[in-house]
Amino acid sequence: EAGVTQFPSHSVIEKGQTVTLRCDPISGHDNLYWYRRVMGKEIKFLLHFVKESKQDESGMPNNRFLAERTGGTYSTLKVQPAELEDSGVYFCASSQEEGAPGNTIYFGEGSWLTVV
């Protein structure tokens, strides 16, 4: 069974450009999460989809970030325009059952974004 896959694995863009990160969750997982780790900081929650609906987007830093999950399958996270402080690793994760104690959340390998 394929795990959570993310694309691109690495991206270098100039300040002001746009980048779109893609995440394919494990098949059958309704819950999809985005997290990120900027340099020197903790891994922080960005948002949570249940199927195609945004369940919690309290961690989105500002309106330069737009996440979508059309059809409840894969998700994209767009950063437009990118700023230097957006550099970091963006992790996608998925899980099967929402809110169940002990629910395991599986992570992808991350998309490493560098804004120059």
Partner 1 sequence: AQSVTQLDSHVSVSEGTPVLLRCNYSSSYSPSLFWYVQHPNKGLQLLLKYTSAATLVKGINGFEAEFKKSETSFHLTKPSAHMSDAAEYFCVVSLYGSGNTGKLIFGQGTTLQVKP
Q: Which residues bind partner 1 (CB under 8 A)?
A: 4, 31, 33, 35, 42-45, 48, 50, 55-56, 91, 93, 95, 98-110
Cβ atoms of 89 and 37 closer than 8 Å = yes
Structure tokens at 114: 């560098």
Provide, rounded to whole angstroms, the least separation between the CB of residue 12 and partner 1.
Answer: 15
Residue 110 or 115: the one with the smaller Cβ distance to partner 1 is: 110
Provide, rounded to whole angstroms, the least separation between the CB of residue 53 and partner 1.
Answer: 12
Provide, rounded to whole angstroms, the least separation between the CB of residue 5 and partner 1.
Answer: 10
Residue 1 or 42: the one with the smaller Cβ distance to partner 1 is: 42
Q: Write the burial class of residue 2 (CB in 10 Å: 0-12 exposed, 13-18 middle, 19+ buried).
A: exposed
C-alpha distances out from residue 56 to 36, 60, 93, 110, Å: 15, 9, 14, 20
Give the count of beta carbons closer than 10 Å to the beta carbon of residue 6: 23
Residue 14 or 27: the one with the smaller Cβ distance to partner 1 is: 27
Per the DSSP assignment, residues forming a β-bridge with 107 are 93
Residue 3 or 16: the one with the smaller Cβ distance to partner 1 is: 3
Provide, rounded to whole angstroms, the least separation between the CB of residue 10 and partner 1.
Answer: 9
